[in-house]
Amino acid sequence: MKFGIFGIFFILLLSGCGYKPSSYYAKQVLGDKIYAQVSISRVDPKNSVIIKDAINEAILTRFVGKLTTKELAESSFLVSFGSVSFSPILYDANGYVISYKAKVSLSIKFTNKQGKTSALSTTGEYDFPIEANSVISDTKRFEAIRYASLDAINEFISTISVRGMQQWQAQ
């Protein structure tokens, strides 16, 4: 009973103070229909596919947008894969690596719904454990790249949301 009253009070407080989620402000900049293209890396094409999936997931879940063709899009992204690196961050008592940090850098060129083109560079990180005295498996590697890419995309979304909020406040 107390939780229900507190929940209703909390919702009223958020709606009464003008709270809007970041996806609202991102939509002010990007619109509803978004086209995403990832340039395929010749050196590591598998990573480009993972990044493409992460971008599509972010458009659907974080921007709350719709994927569309380039001709019908209000805004578009061109994502270039910068680099991926793995560095040890945790060792066991015997000196074996038991945890790594994956770092992904992306370059994103985007055209917003007003037709203005901008470019951003973002980086994302993801920490993950491995078995002591073993190598990083392909499964762990791809999972780490995916989550680090999502982190980089979240940084991009934050930047877009701030721009949308600044435009909204200027009106």
Phi/psi for 26 (5° steps) reads -65, -40
Token pair 């598998």 in the structure block, residue: 46
Which DSSP helix (H) or strand (E) runs through 46?
helix 45-61
pTM of the entire predicted model: 0.77
Q: What is the pLDDT of residue 3?
A: 63
CATH code of the domain made up of 22-170: 3.30.160.150
Q: What secondary structure letter does DSSP report for 132?
A: T
Q: What is the pLDDT of residue 167?
A: 64
Q: What is the pLDDT of residue 160?
A: 83
Q: Using the CB atoms, write b or e for 131-140: b if 16+ within 10 Å.
A: eeeeeeeeeb
- The upper half-sphere exposure of residue 77, i.e. CA atoms within 13 Å in the direction of its Cβ, equals 31
Residues of the chain with pLDDT under 70: 1-3, 11-20, 22-23, 167-171
CA dihedral of residues 45, 50, 52, 154 (deg, nearest 10): -130
Name the amino acid, one letter, at 130.
I
E-only strand ranges, 10-163:
33-39, 66-67, 75-91, 97-111, 117-129
Q: What is the pLDDT of residue 6?
A: 73
50 close to 145: Cβ distance less than 8 angstroms: yes
